[in-house]
């Protein structure tokens, strides 16, 4: 799988086992966690879309549906105290880092009980206590911030690792170059995870990036990998290796995770820059379905496990919406609050 | 209005109403036709047609050599404009949101604005930057700012903004023809506003304000979307016999101080209205000029109405209350008249 300096030996080099032995190394609890997180992301967003279409929320919603394996596989390999920086398409990162869906939903609804008290909305959910340093409305902006978090960890010797999630559209930004180069020169405990979902708005990743993003690892003298981002096992194994490496003080890694957003750029996007066939092909490689198939084939978990998880998610989702809808709107006296520490 | 005369016959064009986004597109399209060195460059200006549809259809018409899609690279976009302008092209470079100009700040402020001066007047930059700005869209703090004051503070840049489709078209055409760097801020909330735009050629000169409504009691000096709040306030107060004059400055730099002073010398009261953060905003410059140059004509302190001292919040009730609306303008006008400060 790795086309440059490989970080993982768990390449998809063949064999019948869809997970190349990664699945076998995971406990039942880990498998349940993975399934639960991927399904939570999907159901959260499907529900948010319904609410948006019913005019219950406004603004820009960027759906992660189809890309769940990347956030989930990477966060499965992180420790609780580790950090991430996220993007405008951040719901998946939030949920995979342990965010509560009720507080997320309330934020999308613009209510006081939301993660940001309604001040941030979908594009700015952060939970510093969980190590989520924030979704971001500025493409590429999370990359130098992740480098900074990793520098802080190095200086404080807290043993933590920071993952920067960013899109293929961030590859062309100056922030990418500056952030990754600095991390490499300082040998920081950072992992740069490019979610290459093929497009930034209508612009194809190959149009925007002069050469494949994972090639750039060599330019910065750091390991890099190009992986199937819809294969949760490959994502997990690659991320784990990179995160362990960072934690050992061996410096950053660049991972390009190839995936696809099933939906438009935002909830309002109806443009025609992708073919129906292309979308159908990627949907047929749905990361959740592939996970379930692999687990079933390996005769791990059983139908009850999946059903129990799904059932709980539906309850949580119902609660999240009810909670959001019942929550109060913020009042104008808070507008100038929290601009500074008082 | 201080504009050149439309050339189309009155009969066929008297009632043509188009969106501001269409008016801007016409401006670009006409200037591209007129001058083969004009080209458009920016993110999603081609295949997507522009985030706010301003360049919709232009790629199909002009092709990728004149409608140039770029990767996400604001510093490069600003620099592409500079380099191409220095070497004989006439670029119209778009920032998808004015908020992203922060990334391009060095290119705009240290390069575009200063090249001509530093090079002893030997360089010429026929360069237009366009950028949507303003709040009210539910897009939260990084997609809603009004940052015009940053740019008027930098000698070497001209800064314009329109409140109507008519002005938008005429101003943008003037900007494209300018041999200077002009930044045109376009308010997102009025892209879909319709207004009269005659068929055929006309320009709105840069540096000329427009009195959008005449009145005798108070002058509201404003620009862009807030012009409409001022006009609504004027309409409401007219019912009470209060006569409000609304001056749309249209051009922040150069500023048409004469028109502003003429208005204030007539009404003796001024409310300066803008959507940016009130503190340190461009309204402070206007207010300061009025008191410096027309102090003896004033019957009341010059008031400023602007946005809260906070990033733009996401939640609708917060966002709507964070920047001026018609009610706040009415209130400020009453304050100015009653001497309640
Ligand atoms: C600096 C900057 N430029 C432009 C934008 C507008 N914008 C928002 S998302 C986006 C596309 C991003 O593509 P990518 O990084 O691939 O992420 P994806 O949307 O595919 O998840 C663009 C152009 C922005 N938010 N920030
Ligand atoms: Mg992308």
A136, B142: Cβ pair inside 8 Å? Answer: yes
A169, B71: Cβ pair inside 8 Å? Answer: yes
Task: Work out the mean pLDDT of chain A and round it to a whole number.
Answer: 94
Distance (Å, whole) CA B194 – CA A207: 36
For B97-131, give one letter per residue: b (16+ CB within 10 A) or e: bbbbbbbbeebbbebbbbbbeeeeeeeebbbbbbb
Residues A178-196: tens digit of each pLDDT: 999 999 999 999 999 999 9
Q: How far is CA A280 from CA A260, A277, A288, in A?
A: 11, 5, 15
CA of B325 to the centre of ligand 1 (A): 31
Residue A122, domain member (yes or no): yes
Signed CA dihedral, A318, A320, A321, A324: sign only: positive
- Domain ranges, residue A294: 23-322
Residue A341, domain member (yes or no): no
Q: Which of B99, B197, B176, B184 is nearest to B144 (CA)?
A: B99
Residues with CB under 6 A from ligand 1: A 62, 88-89, 137-139, 167-170, 197, 199-201, 265; B 43, 72, 74, 96, 100, 103
Residues of chain A numbered 149-188 and touching chain B (CB < 8 Å): 169-175
Task: State residue B2's pLDDT score.
Answer: 43
Q: Which atom, in ligand 1's list, is nearest to the CA of A169?
A: 15
Tell me whether A212 touches chain B (CB under 8 Å): no
Residue A287, domain member (yes or no): yes
CB burial of residue B305 (10 Å; 0-12, 13-18, 19+): buried
Q: Are strands A253-258 and A190-196 parallel, antiparallel or unpaired?
A: parallel
Could you give all domains of chain B from N- to C-terminal order, each with its CATH number? 10-196 (3.40.50.970), 210-338 (3.40.50.920)
* Contact (CB, 8 A) for B278 and B263: no
Residue B284 — φ and ψ, nearest 5°? -65, -35
Residue A330, domain member (yes or no): no
- Pick from B99, B100, B140: CB nearest A120: B140
Task: State residue A5's pLDDT score.
Answer: 45
Tell me whether A207 touches chain B (CB under 8 Å): yes
Q: What protein residues have CB closer than 5 angstroms to ion ligand 2?
A: A 167-169, 197, 200
Of the pLDDT bands very low, low, confident and very high (cuts 50, 70, 90), residue A12 is: very low
Tell me whether A208 touches chain B (CB under 8 Å): yes
List active site positions of B.
74, 143
Q: How distant is the Cα of B102 from the closest Cα of chain A, in angstroms?
A: 10
Exposure on the CB side of residue B266, measured as CA atoms within 13 A: 19
Residue A216, domain member (yes or no): yes
CA of B127 to the centre of ligand 2 (A): 30
Residue A332, domain member (yes or no): no
Helices (H), chain A: 22-25, 28-53, 68-76, 91-96, 101-108, 142-156, 174-185, 205-208, 216-220, 232-247, 276-283, 287-297, 303-326
Tell me whether B138 touches chain A (CB under 8 Å): yes
Q: How distant is the Cα of B96 from the closest Cα of chain A, in angstroms?
A: 11
Single pTM value for the model: 0.95
Spatial CB neighbours of A303, under 8 Å, sequence gap ≥ 6: none
Q: Which of B303, B306, B302, B300 is nearest to B337 (CA)?
A: B300
Structure tokens at A144: 């130098």
How many domains is chain A partitioned into structurally? 1
Q: How distant is the Cα of B301 from the closest Cα of chain A, in angstroms?
A: 25
Residues B305-325: tens digit of each pLDDT: 999 999 999 999 999 999 999
Q: Are strands B194-196 and B17-19 parallel, antiparallel or unpaired?
A: antiparallel
Task: State residue A17's pLDDT score.
Answer: 60
Mean pLDDT of A228-244: 98
Distance (Å, whole) CA A7 – CA A246: 12
Strands (E), B266-309: 270-277, 303-307
Distance (Å, whole) CA A87 – CA A147: 15
Residue A307, domain member (yes or no): yes
Indicate the top mutation candidate among A87, A200, A202 to test ligand 1's pocket, ranked by most ligand atoms within 8 A of CB: A200
- The sheet with strand B127-133 has its strands ordered as B67-69, B38-42, B90-94, B127-133, B181-187, B157-161, B251-253
B75, A174: Cβ pair inside 8 Å? Answer: yes
Residue A193 — φ and ψ, nearest 5°? -110, 105
Query: Would you call A305 helix, strand, or coil by DSSP?
Result: helix
Task: State residue B6's pLDDT score.
Answer: 47
Enumerate residue ranges in chain B where pLDDT < 50: 1-6, 8-9, 341
- Pick from A118, A169, A172: CB nearest B314: A118
Mean pLDDT of A126-145: 97
CA angle A268, A272, A176 (to 5 degrees): 75
Q: Which of A145, A11, A8 is nearest to A83 (CA)?
A: A145
pLDDT at A15 over 60: no
Residues of chain B numbered 43-102 and touching chain A (CB < 8 Å): 43-44, 47-48, 69, 71-73, 75-76, 99-100
Of the pLDDT bands very low, low, confident and very high (cuts 50, 70, 90), residue A9 is: very low
A124, B141: Cβ pair inside 8 Å? Answer: yes
Residues A192-207: tens digit of each pLDDT: 999 999 999 999 999 9
- The interface predicted TM-score of the complex, written ipTM, equals 0.94
A329, B43: Cβ pair inside 8 Å? Answer: no
Please tell me which residue, A62 or A15, carries the higher pLDDT value: A62
Where residue A98 sits, what CATH number does that domain have?
3.40.50.970
Residue A50, domain member (yes or no): yes
């Amino acid at each position: 799988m790795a086309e440059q300096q490989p970080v993982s030996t768990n390449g998809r080099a063949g064999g019948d086992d869809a997970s190349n032995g990664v699945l076998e190394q995971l406990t039942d609890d880990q498998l349940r966690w993975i399934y639960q997180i991927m399904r939570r992301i999907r159901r959260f967003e499907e529900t948010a879309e319904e609410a948006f279409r019913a005019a219950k929320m406004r603004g820009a919603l960027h759906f992660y549906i189809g890309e769940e394996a990347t956030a989930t596989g990477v966060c499965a390999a992180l420790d609780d105290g580790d950090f991430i920086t996220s993007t405008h398409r951040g719901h998946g990162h939030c949920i995979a880092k342990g965010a509560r869906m009720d507080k997320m939903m309330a934020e999308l609804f613009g209510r006081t009980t939301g993660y940001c008290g309604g001040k941030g909305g979908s594009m700015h959910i952060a939970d510093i206590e969980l190590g989520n340093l924030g979704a971001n409305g500025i493409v590429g902006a999370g990359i130098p911030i992740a480098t900074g978090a990793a520098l802080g960890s190095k200086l404080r010797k807290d043993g933590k690792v920071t993952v920067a999630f960013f899109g293929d559209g961030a590859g062309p930004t100056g922030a990418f170059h500056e952030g990754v180069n600095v991390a490499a020169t300082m040998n920081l405990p950072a992992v740069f995870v490019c979610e290459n979902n093929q497009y930034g708005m209508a612009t194809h990743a190959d149009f925007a990036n002069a050469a494949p993003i994972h090639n750039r690892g060599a330019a910065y003298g750091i390991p890099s990998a190009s992986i199937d981002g819809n294969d949760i096992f490959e994502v997990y194994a690659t991320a784990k290796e990179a995160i362990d490496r960072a934690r050992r003080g061996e410096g950053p890694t660049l991972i390009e995770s190839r995936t696809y957003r099933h939906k438009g750029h935002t909830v309002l996007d109806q443009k025609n820059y992708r073919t129906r066939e292309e979308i159908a092909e990627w949907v047929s490689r749905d990361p959740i379905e592939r996970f379930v198939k692999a687990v079933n084939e390996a005769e791990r978990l059983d139908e009850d496990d999946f059903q129990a998880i799904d059932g709980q998610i539906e309850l949580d989702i119902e609660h999240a919406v009810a909670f959001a809808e019942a929550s109060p709107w913020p009042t104008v006296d808070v507008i100038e609050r929290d601009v500074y520490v008082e | 209005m201080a504009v050149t005369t439309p050339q189309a016959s009155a009969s066929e064009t008297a009632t043509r109403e188009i969106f501001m986004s269409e008016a801007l597109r016409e401006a670009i399209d006409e200037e591209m036709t007129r001058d083969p060195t004009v080209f458009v460059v920016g993110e999603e200006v081609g295949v997507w047609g522009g985030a706010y549809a301003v360049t919709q259809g232009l790629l199909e018409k002009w092709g990728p050599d004149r409608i140039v899609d770029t990767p996400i690279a604001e510093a490069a976009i600003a620099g592409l404009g500079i380099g191409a302008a220095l070497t004989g092209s006439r670029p119209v470079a778009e920032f998808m949101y004015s908020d992203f100009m922060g990334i391009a700040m060095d290119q705009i402020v240290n390069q575009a604005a200063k090249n001509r001066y530093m090079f002893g007047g030997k360089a010429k930059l026929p360069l237009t930057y366009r950028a949507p700005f303003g709040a009210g869209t539910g897009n939260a703090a990084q997609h809603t700012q009004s940052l015009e004051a940053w740019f008027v503070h930098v000698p070497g840049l001209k800064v314009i903004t329109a409140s109507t489709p008519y002005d938008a078209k005429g101003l943008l055409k003037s900007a494209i023809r300018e041999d200077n760097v002009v930044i045109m801020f376009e308010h997102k909330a009025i892209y879909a506003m319709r207004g009269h735009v005659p068929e055929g050629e006309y320009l709105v000169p840069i540096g000329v304000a427009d009195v959008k409504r005449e009145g005798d009691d108070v002058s509201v000096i404003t620009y862009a979307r807030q012009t409409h709040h001022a006009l609504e306030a004027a309409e409401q107060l007219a019912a009470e016999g209060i006569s409000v004059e609304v001056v749309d400055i249209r051009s922040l730099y150069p500023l048409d101080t004469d028109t502003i002073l003429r208005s204030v010398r007539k009404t003796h009261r001024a409310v300066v209205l803008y959507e940016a953060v009130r503190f340190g905003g461009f309204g402070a410059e206007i207010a300061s000029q009025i008191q410096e140059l027309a102090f003896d004509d004033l019957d009341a302190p010059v008031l400023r109405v602007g946005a809260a001292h906070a990033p733009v919040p996401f939640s609708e009730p917060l966002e709507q209350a964070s920047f001026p609306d018609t009610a706040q303008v009415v209130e400020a006008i009453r304050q100015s008249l009653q001497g309640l400060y």
